[in-house]
Chains A and B, each alone.
Chain A
Amino acid sequence: MGEFFAMSGYWPFVWPAYALAMAGLAFEAWRARRLLGRARQEARRKLAIQEQS
């Protein structure tokens, strides 16, 4: 198991590269979901204002 994580001594390169790539994808996914959530909130608020008037 230790051998696997050592990556023949290349662990300081392999693991950060994988971590950064996956973190980048996850961050982008989070941002997209947040954008949709905000757009929905905004739309709901607009509808509520329309109904009041």
Chain B
Amino acid sequence: MSAPLVPAAAAFASALRRDLLQAARRPGEWLQPLAFFVIVTVLFPLSLDPELARLRHLAPAALWVALLLATLLALDFLYREDARDGTLEQFALSGQPFAVMIFAKTATHWLLTGLPLALVGPLAAISLGAPPQNALAVLWPLLLGSVSMSLIGSICAGLTLGTRRGGALLSLLVLPLAMPALVFGARATQLAIAGESAAGALYLLGAITVLALTLAPLAAAAAVRISLE
């Protein structure tokens, strides 16, 4: 076996592969948030006026609230299992940068929840009254937004790791941090559904995502390390 060029990258890849394999054996974990996302977007029309023209105004709100809540749901088991069976401690002892290993976990979280949700997003948008020719454009804000939410969530899940009442606290920590992404993302979605250019809002959302990509893995690693002690 040839020595990998960048050991950290190899460690990242193997951690990612391991997590994905595990998820493939337990489809419930990643199907659950997806089902939750669909249920929330279905509940909106049922609890409102099913007239499509009026629903269209609420579609961005429904999509983003559903995305945020589904991400939160999946965050609860982001580290829990690995903290219990000692995998995280092995990560810390592996000699690889801890932030890289934690980032691999965050990437899995996004691949298993953020990505499927974003892909379902256009369909959900159509069901909420978006014109089909505009629905595909909804994909971009949802993709970017779900990345930043997974990253923000990885910090907060690390902080609440090993605390008693995780769930409610986790949402209290995530919501103020996720709020800017939600504001820009919902606006971009709104413009996309209306068939207008969403570039301005998407740039801002992209800026937040890049900021989260650079800072969140470090903060998440610090948070998990503190929780492990």
* A–B contact at 8 Å CB threshold (below): no
Q: Which A residues have a C-beta under 8 Å from some C-beta of B?
A: none
Q: Which B residues have a C-beta under 8 Å from some C-beta of A?
A: none
